[in-house]
Each structure stands twice: as C-alpha cells, then as structure tokens.
Amino acid sequence: MRQSAMLIPTLRDVPAEAEIVSHKLMLRAGMIRQVARGIYDFLPLGVRVLRKVERIIREEMDRAGAQEVLLPAVCPAELWQESGRWEKYGKELLRIKDRNDRDFCFGPTHEEVITDLVRRDVRSYRELPMNLYQIQTKFRDEVRPRFGLMRGREFIMKDAYSFHVDRADCDREYDEMFRTYRRIFDRCGLAYRPVEADTGAIGGSRSHEFQVLAESGEDAIVSCEKCEYAANVEKAGIGAGDPVAAVEPTPLVEVATPGQRTIEEVSAFMKMKPHRFVKTLLYVAGDGVVMVLVRGDHVLSEAKLKDALGTPAVELASESTVEAVTGAPVGFAGPIGVKGEVRLLADHALAGITAAVSGANKADTHFKGVSAARDFPHVEYADLRAAGAGDRCPRCDGRFTLQRGIEVGQVFYLGTKYSEALRATVLDAEGRERVLEMGCYGIGVTRTIAAAIEQNHDDAGIVWPMPLAPFHVVIVPVNLADERLRTTAERLHDELTARGVEVLLDDRDERPGVKFKDADLIGCPLRITVGPRALERGAVELKRRREKESTEVAAAEVVERVAAMVAADLAAGVRSRDLDVR
Ligand code: ATP
Ligand code: MG
C-alpha cells in the first residue's frame, strides 16, 4: 500500500482532549477521530487493526463451534420490559422513540434479543448445545466516557450467548470459552490475566474477566504470589489473619474534632493511624438505608456490598439522608447509638477492634476508645472490603500482589435469569419442558486495540505486536527523487506483498526525518530503510520498531528475511496453551 494514497493524518502535537497514551497515540497516528463525546470515526489505519482483532476472534469462535449471527442494534423496548431491564438498566441505556412513538433502545448488550430468537426457533434438546455470537456496534451512555476507545459510548463488542439443557453442559461450554479467550488474547500477542470477577449488572453467578496488564488500567487485580488464584479486587476473597495488633480496651470518650471529616483529616488531627479507625458509609439499597463499616485503611467494595445485601444496586446516601439518619452532618457518622431501623453491616476486619476511633453522630465530634464487641455488638459481619497488596490468599498461605488491568473480555454463567423471564424452553428426551441454561461471553473489540497500545508503546509512538499491526513492515526510501532508491523500494514492496507480507510504502515527498517520525508513531513492527550509501553496497537497513539499532541486509536477501520474521512473530502469538480452567 502506498502511503501517499492513504488517509493517514498524523499529528505532531498531542491533542489536548486525550489523557492516556493509547488515546493520544491513536489520534496522533491518524487511526481515529472524535465525532462527539465517546463516539469516533475509524480511519483506514484504525480499520485495518480493527479487522485484525475481529479476524482472530472469528477464527477462534468458529473453531470452538460457535455460529456467527448479526442482531439488530436497535431493539424494541418490549423485550427489555419482559426481562425487567427496561426499568433496571438506568441511564446507560439509550432509549429512542420511532415515528409512531414506540420505545426502542440502542442495544448495550443482547441477552434479551438472542433469548427471543432462540425461544422462537429452537424447540428440542437435540438442537442444543448452541453458541451464537456476533461482532457488533453497541451503545452505552456512559456517565464518564473517556480515554478514547477505552471507555467509549459507541464501541464494538463481540458478544456470544450459549444455550444448554442443563448446568453441566453450560459449565462445559464456559470452560471451552475460557480456553477460547486464552487463545484469542494469546494470538493478539498481549500480556493478560484471567481473574475471578463480579457478575455485575448482567447477573449470573460464575464469571472471569480477562485483564490486559497495564499501569493505566481502570481495574485493580490481585494475584497470589504462591498459587494460581487471581481476582478483581472488588471480588477477591481474603484469607484470615493480620488482625490489627490487639490493644487493651480503653473507655469510650467523646473528642472534639471541629471541621475534621475524612479519615485522613481526623487521623492527622488525632495523631492516630488510619487502621485504628472505623470508616462509616451510608448506602441506600432498595427502600432502606444501610450503615456500612470498614477499617479506616481499607476500601469498601460495592460489588461485595451488593452480594452481602443480595441486591443488584446500591447508591451512596445523599447528604440530607445522612443528616436525617445520623442527626449529624456528613463526616461524623458512626455505629454507636444509631437508630434501630438502620441496618449495620461491618467488614470482618473490624471484628474485635479495640481502642478505635469512629464518628459520634454529632457535629464536629468523634469517639475514641471504641470497642466493636462492647460498643456496637449488634452489627452483622460480612466480607466487604476490596482486596489489596499483602492481603492473604483465600486458597493458600500466600499473599497478594496488586496489578492494574484493562478488562478486555468477560465470561459469565447466566443460569436461567433470561430464559426464565422470557420463557425460553425446549423439550427434553422425555418430552418435558426445560428452561434453558445460558452462558454469555463478551470481548471489547475496540477496547482491545486501546489496551494493546497501552501495553506496547514508547516515547516515539506505538510498537504494535505483529498480529495486530496495521502493516507488518514500512519501507522508507529516504529520497524519492533518486531513481535507484525509488525503484528498489517499489520492488521490495511488490515482492513482499507477493509473499503475503503487509507493506506500507512511504512514497511521500517528505524529508527523511518526517518519514521516520511517522513510521515510529504508526508503529509497524519492522522498517526497511532504502538509503543511498547502503545501496551503494547493495544493501538496505532493516530495523525492528522495538529495537534501537538497525542491521544492514543485502537487498537481494531482505525479502526472505522479512517474510521469515513476520511468520515467526505471528506464530509466536499463537501459543494456544490448553491451560486449566480455574
Ligand atoms: P466495564 O466494567 O469496563 O464498564 P462491563 O463489565 O460493563 O465493562 P461487559 O458488559 O462485560 O462490560 O461487556 C463486555 C466487554 O465490552 C467488556 O469486557 C469490555 O471489554 C467492553 N466494554 C464495555 N463497556 C465498554 C465501553 N464503554 N467502551 C469500550 N468497551 C467497553
Ligand atoms: Mg464486564
């Protein structure tokens, strides 16, 4: 492909709207452009990468026996009303009306639509199991679309849904999809981890996320240093141990803490470590208010709170609710003496805490000398806190290390949540009606591209892993006016292309410096430079984007060499390990 004939509007300057590397580099490399908040154009280079990810996904899904379908992006409200999600999904669901005033939504996920298809067209257990997938544009009206493709409003997802007569078969497919996802992300050439995950708004009871490891990731994940256990911090089980060193109980005393509200403020003010604090948060769940307690140095996991309460949604209480419930302004809530109708839930780490500090439900006042057993005995204990570095593994005596990740995929066991609501059933071998068991499996196709860049870049630009690169190699003739350079570059382009190598030929009439800068920015894994001095010796320069130094290769041999390097790199991505499913 000739660069002069392509729309690749590279930018020298870093666009102000972009905060993270992948967003900046995709804009600068001319891969995408923003049209509205969280909504993007894909330019030719962006599309090439997109097609690569899609192709890997298709090949592996097909290999696993899944069938491709294409469902509508605009879905009728009736189906969402049947599942109950028309009310529950909230503002992320983009609701639209047609000319007849009928309600529709732009699909953020497709459990309802696919379950409707299957209930109408699948009758017998003999047609099962069945796994249907699609690669399609989704819309979620995210509160904070940001980071470019990482959290867009319109984005491309691969979503798959499987249907089974019983749980055992659904579990088998879940494991198959888990292995398929490993193959997909291996083939993309990414460093990632599958971790145990919360099931969130989609519902269900067994789930793993696939997290691409990157400092900029929005998710925090813990992995055991000794065993295979890894989980999202909001879900991770925490082993027993490490109680705060026991301290002799002390009497309960009121302390004036004027204007000191946060744990940091009060801790500094009272010169006491945060781990001796009872952090109090008020949540609204359903019709009631719950007072939630975690240790001052710990972080509440809302996912665990929802699990503990058995509710799909919780929301931090408003200032006025806090005042009504505690009789004090925000910042001074605590468990002691709170009204009877408020449910008290505390994290396990608070059991047995003594000589601690909590709010006193009175303006500008805290208690010190708080003993959990003595002062708030009626609390229910549960696992509520997010896991952190150094916490104990729930499976062995190892400890957790903390990493950041980007969730590129998630697999769920859904059970009968949607099949029950939409009455999707088949007749089994005995002629009895069976409600279908379901699994669902998503991959953020566009997010995977952003994640690949977060993981593979340097100061000069993107450093594509070979399987996702828009082109495998870029050829840079340093001076187009020089006939010999131009014809050599063109010949290499043609010969490599004939060998199945994807080549970008920088045939623009630009200075070499400009071409090299753009080549680094766009990030093709290999670069061939055709310059006058080397060519005198019958050679060209070959350089890996990842490395600093180039090597001189005989022009007659470079095609063979490059074709072999590309093939080796693509094969390295296909590690296809059949790893055990956790
Ligand atoms: P998140 O927790 O990041 O909001 P999610 O868990 O709600 O994502 P799923 O419903 O599991 O997302 O969707 C499947 C996949 O789609 C995710 O693993 C992610 O890769 C991708 N995805 C979800 N939301 C977005 C978004 N706003 N922009 C880009 N990709 C997204
Ligand atoms: Mg998810």
CA distances from 553 to 22, 498, 530, 535, 539 (A): 33, 20, 11, 10, 5
pLDDT of residue 241 exceeding 80, the answer is: no
Residues with CB under 6 A from ligand 1: 109, 140, 142, 151-152, 155, 157, 200, 202, 407-410, 442, 444, 446-447
Q: How many Å lie between the centroid of ligand 2 and the Cα of residue 15?
A: 29
Ligand 1 atom index nearest CA of 153: 27
Q: How many Å lie between the centroid of ligand 2 and the Cα of residue 351?
A: 32
What is the pLDDT, as a whole number, of residue 253? 94
Span 80-106, average pLDDT = 96
Tell me how far apart the alpha carbons of residues 277 and 273 are, in angstroms, rounded to a whole number.
8
Backbone angles phi, psi at 309, to 5 degrees: -90, -15
Ligand 1 atom index nearest CA of 409: 18
pLDDT range class, residue 577, cuts 50, 70, 90: very low
Q: What's the pLDDT tens digit per position in 474-497?
A: 999 999 999 999 999 999 999 999
* Residue that has been written with the tokens 């400009």 in this structure: 514
* Residue that has been written with the tokens 């609710």 in this structure: 321
Q: How many Å lie between the centroid of ligand 1 and the Cα of residue 74?
A: 19
pLDDT of residue 579 exceeding 50, the answer is: no
Tell me how far apart the alpha carbons of residues 394 and 392 are, in angstroms, rounded to a whole number.
6
At residue 534, the 3 state secondary structure works out as helix
What is the pLDDT, as a whole number, of residue 582? 34
Tell me how far apart the alpha carbons of residues 471 and 452 are, in angstroms, rounded to a whole number.
15
Q: Side by side, which strands form the sheet with 550-554?
A: 503-505, 473-477, 526-530, 539-544, 550-554
Q: Which residues pair with 68 in a beta bridge?
A: 133
CA distances from 427 to 111, 116, 170 (A): 21, 17, 17
Span 312-329, average pLDDT = 92
Q: How many Å lie between the centroid of ligand 1 and the Cα of residue 121?
A: 29
Contact 516, 475 (CB under 8 A): no
pLDDT of residue 576 exceeding 50, the answer is: no
CA angle 156/91/219 to nearest 5° reads: 55
Q: What's the number of CA atoms in the CB half-sphere (13 Å) around residue 133?
A: 25
pLDDT range class, residue 142, cuts 50, 70, 90: very high
pLDDT of residue 259 exceeding 70, the answer is: yes
Q: Whose CA is nearest to atom 21 of ligand 1?
A: 444
Q: How many Å lie between the centroid of ligand 2 and the Cα of residue 519?
A: 35
Its pTM stands at: 0.90
Q: Whose CA is nearest to atom 4 of ligand 1?
A: 151
Ligand 1 atom index nearest CA of 151: 28
Span 242-263, average pLDDT = 86
Q: How many Å lie between the centroid of ligand 2 and the Cα of residue 109?
A: 11
Q: What's the number of CA atoms in the CB half-sphere (13 Å) around residue 401?
A: 7
Number of H helices, E strands in the chain: 16, 31
Q: What's the pLDDT tens digit per position in 542-567?
A: 999 999 999 999 999 999 999 999 99
Among the ranges given (161-165, 308-312, 543-547), the one the predictor scored with the smallest mean pLDDT: 308-312
Amino acid letter for position 49: V
Helices (H), 471-557: 483-498, 512-522, 532-536
CA angle 529/534/536 to nearest 5° reads: 130
Q: Whose CA is nearest to atom 29 of ligand 1?
A: 151
Q: Which ligand is nearest to the CA of 90?
A: 1
Q: How many Å lie between the centroid of ligand 2 and the Cα of residue 123?
A: 31
What is the pLDDT, as a whole number, of residue 103? 98
pLDDT range class, residue 339, cuts 50, 70, 90: confident
Ligand 1 atom index nearest CA of 109: 10
Backbone angles phi, psi at 357, to 5 degrees: -115, 140
Q: What's the pLDDT tens digit per position in 347-405?
A: 999 998 999 999 999 999 999 999 999 999 989 999 999 999 999 999 999 999 999 99
CA distances from 7 to 45, 512, 523 (A): 8, 19, 16
Give the H or E element holding residue 407. strand 400-415
pLDDT of residue 113 exceeding 60, the answer is: yes
What is the pLDDT, as a whole number, of residue 366? 95
**Residue spans of beta strands (DSSP E) within 522-566:** 526-530, 539-544, 550-554
Give the H or E element holding residue 130. strand 130-139
Ligand 1 pocket test, pick from 216, 410, 449 with the greatest ligand atom count within 8 Å of Cβ, gives: 410
Beta strand pairing status for 400-415 and 219-224? Answer: antiparallel
DSSP 8-state secondary structure symbol assigned to residue 15: P
Q: Whose CA is nearest to atom 16 of ligand 1?
A: 444
Residue 257, Cα to own-chain centre: how many angstroms? Answer: 41
Q: Which ligand is nearest to the CA of 443?
A: 1
Q: How many Å lie between the centroid of ligand 2 and the Cα of residue 406?
A: 10
What is the pLDDT, as a whole number, of residue 310? 87
Q: How many Å lie between the centroid of ligand 1 and the Cα of residue 444?
A: 6
What is the pLDDT, as a whole number, of residue 357? 95
Q: How many Å lie between the centroid of ligand 1 and the Cα of residue 109?
A: 10
Q: Which ligand is nearest to the CA of 211?
A: 1
Q: Which ligand is nearest to the CA of 57?
A: 1
CA angle 159/161/162 to nearest 5° reads: 150
Q: Which ligand is nearest to the CA of 145?
A: 1
Tell me how far apart the alpha carbons of residues 263 and 278 are, in angstroms, rounded to a whole number.
9
Query: Residues 443-464, buried b or exposed e (16+ Cβ, 10 A)?
Result: bbbbbbbbbbbbbbbeeebbbb
The two structure tokens encoding residue 418: 């949607």
Q: What's the pLDDT tens digit per position in 426-475?
A: 999 999 999 999 999 999 999 999 999 999 999 999 999 999 999 999 99
Q: What's the pLDDT tens digit per position in 391-415?
A: 999 999 999 999 999 999 999 999 9
pLDDT range class, residue 286, cuts 50, 70, 90: confident
pLDDT range class, residue 574, cuts 50, 70, 90: low
Q: Which ligand is nearest to the CA of 218?
A: 1
Q: How many Å lie between the centroid of ligand 1 and the Cα of residue 134?
A: 15
Q: Whose CA is nearest to atom 2 of ligand 1?
A: 407
Ligand 1 atom index nearest CA of 202: 10
What is the pLDDT, as a whole number, of residue 580? 36
Percentage of residues of the chain with pLDDT beyond 70: 97
Ligand 1 pocket test, pick from 22, 211, 447 with the greatest ligand atom count within 8 Å of Cβ, gives: 447
Q: Whose CA is nearest to atom 28 of ligand 1?
A: 151
What is the pLDDT, as a whole number, of residue 302? 94
| CA dihedral for 536, 537, 540, 541, sign (positive or negative) | negative
